[in-house]
Amino acid sequence: MGQPVSYRDRMGTLSISRGVIDTAKKVVIYGPEGIGKSTLASKFPGPLFLDVEGSTKAMDIERLDGLNSWQGLRDALAALRGGRYGYKTVVIDTADWAEKLAMSFVCSQQKKSGIEEFGYGKGYVYLKEAFAELLTDCDALIAEGMNIVFTAHAAMRKFEQPDERGAYDRWEMKLTKHDAPLLKEWADMVLFCNYKTFAQKTENGNYKAAGGRRVMYATHNPCWDAKNRYGLADELPMDYAAIRDVIEKPVKPDLTPQVPENAEPMKKSVQESVKESAQESAQGPSAPEPAQPAEPQLTLICSECGQPITGIGKWSAEQIASRSMKLFGQALCVACAKAKSAQKSA
């Protein structure tokens, strides 16, 4: 196992690590309607559903309702930072309905009645930028040890190879051609769920359906998009047990030291924190405190302010950098770590 730490020497600042780094997982589950995508996502550890589509009413899960705007969705993700609610997985249900919110947001910002009104594909460029910001919000939770799961509907689309003659149908995520590749690149695991039907030959030589089962595909195929970075089999039963060992391997960072000793217990709901997050985003982030200057020949460097990381008390510079990597995903000096902690506690 290795954790990247920044060093400054005569060659400049480098961030080098070696070995497998266990992190929370970025997962996309897509397939035709009604196959059980949300049910599969509900099996992930400690899930909270951001029910953008409003399709989980029949499920016994914890959900955040009323997410009917793009800014509301982003504020909800911001409010969940810091691990204050104890959730281990955030499920965005679904990606294509979240994209609709982004599309409405982009059009309202530019005072357009529809995405096509921009002309020359500019609207889709703005849409891709907005969707990328959502993935950045998700990355902040990933750094804190929280899994992110996107569910999405599937659509059959005509696909034509640039170097081949003819075209064929294949399953793809029901997103625009700009956002679908972005989401696939971002994810560690893209699972395509579908019904596998078995055909039986009759006495007259014809074939008829003779039952089937639900499966999920974890590798690319000409007929569908799928991938994984963990060596999963091409085809798996549509059961969380098939991927449990991959999902539940990482350990969520301990955020307890970030809570001051005299802090009062958290009594606010997620909805209240969403409102506070919206106010904080309008005010802008707090400026980090400057670190103590030092320039040894080989020095640990703070990723936030670029100043050397120095030891304090019984804590060495290496221990401070390693601890901040676990908590914030960055090697930070004491001052910047305190600033980050204050932002989380705000």
pLDDT tens-digit map of 96-142:
999 999 999 999 988 888 888 888 888 899 999 999 999 999 999 99
Supply the CATH number for residue 33's domain: 3.40.50
Q: Is residue 258 part of a domain?
A: no
- Express each pLDDT in 141-170 by its tens digit: 999 999 999 999 999 888 777 766 667 788
Q: How many other C-beta atoms lie within 10 A of the C-beta of residue 14?
A: 12
pTM for this one? Answer: 0.68
181 pLDDT exceeds 50? yes
Q: Are residues 219 and 289 in the same domain?
A: no
> With 80 as the cut, is the pLDDT of residue 292 above it?
no
Q: Of 221, 247, 273, at which residue does a domain stop?
A: 247
Task: Say whether both 304 and 240 belong to one domain.
Answer: no
Structurally, the chain folds into a number of domains equal to 2
Query: Does residue 303 belong to any structural domain of this protein?
Result: yes
* Residue 164 domain flag: yes
> Is 96 in the same domain as 221?
yes
65 Rama class: left (phi>0) / alpha (psi -120 to 50) / beta: beta
Tell me: do 305 and 225 sit in the same domain: no
Q: Is residue 262 part of a domain?
A: no
Together in a domain, 207 and 321: no
Q: Are residues 116 and 230 in the same domain?
A: yes
Cis peptide upstream of residue 94 (ω within 30 degrees of 0): yes
**241 and 114 co-located in one domain:** yes
As a whole number of angstroms, the distance between CA 136 and CA 41 comes to 21
pLDDT value at residue 114:
86
In a domain, 261, yes or no: no
238: pLDDT confidence band, cut at 50, 70 and 90? very high
**Do residues 49 and 196 both lie within one domain?**
yes
Residues near 226 by Cβ (< 8 Å), separated by ≥ 6? Answer: 190, 191, 192, 217, 218, 219, 220
Q: What is the DSSP letter of 33?
A: T
Domain membership of residue 118 (yes or no) is yes
Query: Is residue 42 located within the same domain as residue 189?
Result: yes
Q: Are residues 88 and 227 in the same domain?
A: yes
Q: Which range marks the domain in which residue 293 is found?
A: 285-346
Residues counted in the chain: 346
Q: What percentage of residues in the chain have a pLDDT greater than 70? A: 77
On whether both 44 and 189 belong to a single domain, the answer is yes
- C-alpha 297/C-alpha 293 separation (Å) is 13
In this structure, is residue 306 part of a structural domain?
A: yes
Single residue among 201, 232, 247 that ends a domain in this structure: 247
218 within 8 A of 226, measured Cβ to Cβ: yes
Tokens of 332: 């930070």
| Residues 33 and 144 grouped into a single domain | yes
Residue listed under structure tokens 């949300």: 38
